[in-house]
Every structure is written in structure tokens, then in C-alpha cells.
């Protein structure tokens, strides 16, 4: 029987179970997971033993029970949240979306029995789960997050991850080298994730370069689609994309400031160029806008500025990150890597492990007080 008392042992078992999920999760070795613990808690064994903290010693205490409420179509977010809970050594209650999440089931089946026993899943929210959890992590719409937050007693740890919109900024790319990565970012997970870019803002180094970028991006979207086809669409999703295409087709017929590239007979992908810089939310499923970068991007974001998830940059420099700080994302990263957040990413601007733990300090007796 595996000894799962130590963080290192749990990390090894989790890493082993997570192996088939690297396309969803990125690198997930035991080393990666322990580096995450060390980055957030100050020491990879902070949950297992006392370590120096100022003039004293301290130890992290994981919540006994964590309730994870996860949304549909984002299995990676569900797995990340669950893996965090397992790494901490907590018991995990996972409320899955109504349709379930096959990836979570598959991951659980690969866990050793001792770790598997630390997880319960349900597509309903059973009575008592909210009250028995010491910490609640929710992924969902604002309404879902608000509704659950209202049901959690004050003082209990609550981490709400509402829906976010992400975007890319192409600052300098004369050879359109970022297009394949931009297409990957906008296509993976069919744009359902909070890190999925919906608009690429392109700095116009010469007139027409943003439009040209849109054309190149369309070609890259097509290529990506050839090797990674889009998932099935519900009728509502089909209608949303087809209606948007129809609307822009109408506009493009009489307005040169608008252009449309439509991929495939089956709504495979859509690129829309629009001179108006106002942030336009995508109906998702590989519909992406390209717009010239305005002077004041935060202003052009309108109400969406309160919901920015990640900003992809090309090139990705600290100087550019500082320039676009007003967008308030929790992540700047290179275009092409938007869907590969490191485990240490502060999702929603907060440390994901450190926000869940509490601390107990130990001050050894000194010779004076003996």
C-alpha cells in the first residue's frame, strides 16, 4: 500500500495518473507539482513538517474537505482544481456538470486506491456538501459563483472563478510569425476556456497590416483545423455562429472596414476583421476577431475590462506587460502559449494552493524562558 502521507508521495501518484492528460494539463511531473507547492507555500514539504518562518517555524494545514464545483467543457480546469486538492492532501468533493466529465472519471480510475478514496464525485450537489466542506472552489458563470457564495457561511474559504474573456496583442510581428500560435490559442478547447482569446489587437505598423494579419490568421486557423477538428456543436451554438457570420457578411457587403473569412462548410472556424476597436465578445467555438490596436485599449474593452483573463503578447516583454497593466489580467504570456498556463499561475489573481491552506506557527522555547 502506498504511503500517501507525504506531499512528495502524493505528487508522484498524481503525476503518474495525470500522464495521459498532458495535452490538457501541460507538463505534470512530480517535480512540477512539488515546485508548485514550493512556489506557493515557501517549501515543497510545508504541509509535512515545520520549516523556518522568520524567527519561528511554521507548517501549512490543508482544509479537511474541499468542494470543487466545476463547469462543463473545461475538463482541464476541473482536473487542475482536483489535483490541487489532492496535492494538499484534502478530501475532495467534486460537483460535475450535468453531463459529467469523462476526463475526470478517467483520471480518477488511474489513481491509487488511497488517493481515489479521497475523492467523491456527483453531477448533483448533494445536501450537506456545502456545509461539510472547509473550502469551496467554484468555476462557473457569475450567477453560479454568486449563488454558491451566498450559501457559504462567512469565514469559510471561498474561491470563485467566474467566466473571463482573454485577448491577444500583436505589437510587432512583421512576418506574421505569431499566427500559427494565435490560431492554436483560439482553437484549443474550442475557445471554451477562460484563457481562450476572443480578439487579437494588432498594432498597425503600416495601414492595412491588421487586416493582413487577419488573413494570415485565417489561413493558420484553417491549417490547425485540418489537424485538430472542432468538436460537435449544439443547435444554439450553430445558430450563434451562423447568425454572427450572416451579420458580418451583411456589413462586409457595403463596408470596407469589415471583412470575414469563413472556414469550411461546417462552421469550422471564423475570422472577422473589424476596424472598430470596441471589444466584441465571440460566440466561441473558434470565432475570433482581429482589430487594429487602439491608443487606449482598456477603454476599448468597455465593460469587458472587468473580466479579462489572460493577455497574450507578441513579443512578450515585461515592458509590454506594464504598458497593458490597465487591462487587469491575471496572466501575460506569449501568443501561442495562452492555453499552457504553468501550475504556478495565479488564476484569478490569487495563489491557488496558498489561498486554501491555513498556517500554524511554532516558536521554540528559548533558554531565557526555560
List interacting residues with another protein (CB under 8 A). Answer: 71-74, 77, 97, 99, 139-143, 161-166, 189, 191-194, 196, 198, 234-244, 246-247, 249-255, 265-267, 278-284, 302-304, 307
Instruction: Quote the DSSP letter at residue 232.
Output: P
| 49 vs 266, beta carbon nearer another protein | 266
Residues 74 and 295: their CA atoms lie apart, in Å, by 34
Residues 22 and 307: their CA atoms lie apart, in Å, by 27
| 193 vs 292, beta carbon nearer another protein | 193
**Structural contact between residues 245 and 270, judged by C-beta atoms closer than 8 angstroms:** yes
Element (H, E) at 200: strand 197-202
| 131 vs 141, beta carbon nearer another protein | 141
Q: Tell me the closest approach of the beta carbon of residue 49 to another protein, in angstroms.
A: 36
| 52 vs 141, beta carbon nearer another protein | 141
| 149 vs 172, beta carbon nearer another protein | 149
Element (H, E) at 289: strand 287-292
Q: Tell me the closest approach of the beta carbon of residue 203 to another protein, in angstroms.
A: 22
Distances in Å between the alpha carbon of 116 and those of 227, 334, 365? 35, 36, 41
Name the 3-class secondary structure at 151: helix
Q: Tell me the closest approach of the beta carbon of residue 274 to another protein, in angstroms.
A: 11
Element (H, E) at 92: strand 91-95
Non-local (6+) Cβ contacts of 303 within 8 A are none
Q: Tell me the closest approach of the beta carbon of residue 369 to another protein, in angstroms.
A: 52
**Structural contact between residues 112 and 13, judged by C-beta atoms closer than 8 angstroms:** yes
Q: Tell me the closest approach of the beta carbon of residue 288 to another protein, in angstroms.
A: 12
Q: Tell me the closest approach of the beta carbon of residue 76 to another protein, in angstroms.
A: 9
| 89 vs 283, beta carbon nearer another protein | 283
Amino acid at each position: 500500500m502506498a504511503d500517501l502521507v507525504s506531499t512528495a508521495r502524493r505528487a508522484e501518484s498524481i503525476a503518474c495518473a495525470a500522464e495521459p492528460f498532458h495535452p490538457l494539463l501541460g507538463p505534470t511531473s512530480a517535480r512540477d507539482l512539488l515546485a508548485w507547492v514550493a512556489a506557493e507555500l515557501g517549501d515543497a514539504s510545508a504541509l509535512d513538517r515545520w520549516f523556518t518562518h522568520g524567527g519561528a517555524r511554521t507548517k501549512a494545514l490543508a482544509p479537511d474537505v474541499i468542494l470543487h464545483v466545476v463547469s462543463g467543457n473545461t475538463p482541464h480546469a476541473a482536473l487542475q482544481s482536483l489535483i490541487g486538492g489532492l496535492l494538499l492532501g484534502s478530501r475532495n468533493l467534486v460537483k460535475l456538470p450535468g453531463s459529467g466529465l469523462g476526463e475526470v472519471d478517467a483520471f480518477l480510475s488511474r489513481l491509487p486506491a488511497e488517493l481515489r478514496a479521497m475523492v467523491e464525485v456527483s453531477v448533483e450537489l448533494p445536501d450537506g456538501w456545502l456545509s461539510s466542506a472547509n473550502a469551496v472552489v467554484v468555476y462557473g458563470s457569475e450567477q453560479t459563483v454568486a449563488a454558491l457564495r451566498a450559501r457559504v457561511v462567512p469565514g469559510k474559504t471561498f474561491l470563485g472563478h467566474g467566466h473571463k474573456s482573454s485577448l491577444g496583442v500583436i505589437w510587432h510581428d512583421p512576418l506574421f510569425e505569431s499566427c500559427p500560435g494565435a490560431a492554436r490559442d483560439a482553437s484549443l478547447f474550442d475557445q471554451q476556456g477562460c484563457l481562450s482569446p476572443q480578439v487579437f489587437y494588432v498594432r498597425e505598423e503600416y495601414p492595412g497590416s491588421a487586416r493582413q494579419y487577419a488573413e494570415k490568421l485565417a489561413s493558420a486557423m484553417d491549417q490547425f483545423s485540418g489537424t485538430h477538428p472542432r468538436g460537435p456543436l449544439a443547435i444554439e451554438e450553430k445558430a450563434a455562429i451562423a447568425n454572427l457570420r450572416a451579420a458580418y457578411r451583411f456589413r462586409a457587403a457595403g463596408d470596407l472596414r469589415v471583412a470575414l473569412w469563413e472556414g469550411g462548410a461546417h462552421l469550422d472556424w471564423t475570422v472577422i476583421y473589424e476596424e472598430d476597436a470596441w471589444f466584441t465578445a465571440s460566440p466561441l467555438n473558434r470565432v475570433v476577431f482581429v482589430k487594429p490596436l487602439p491608443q487606449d485599449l482598456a477603454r476599448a474593452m468597455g465593460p469587458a475590462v472587468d473580466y479579462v483573463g489572460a493577455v497574450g503578447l507578441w513579443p512578450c516583454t515585461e515592458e509590454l506587460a506594464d504598458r497593458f497593466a490597465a487591462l487587469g489580467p491575471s496572466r501575460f504570456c506569449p501568443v501561442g502559449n495562452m492555453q499552457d498556463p504553468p501550475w504556478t499561475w495565479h488564476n484569478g489573481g490569487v495563489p491557488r494552493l496558498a489561498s486554501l491552506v491555513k498556517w500554524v506557527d511554532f516558536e521554540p522555547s528559548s533558554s531565557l524562558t526555560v
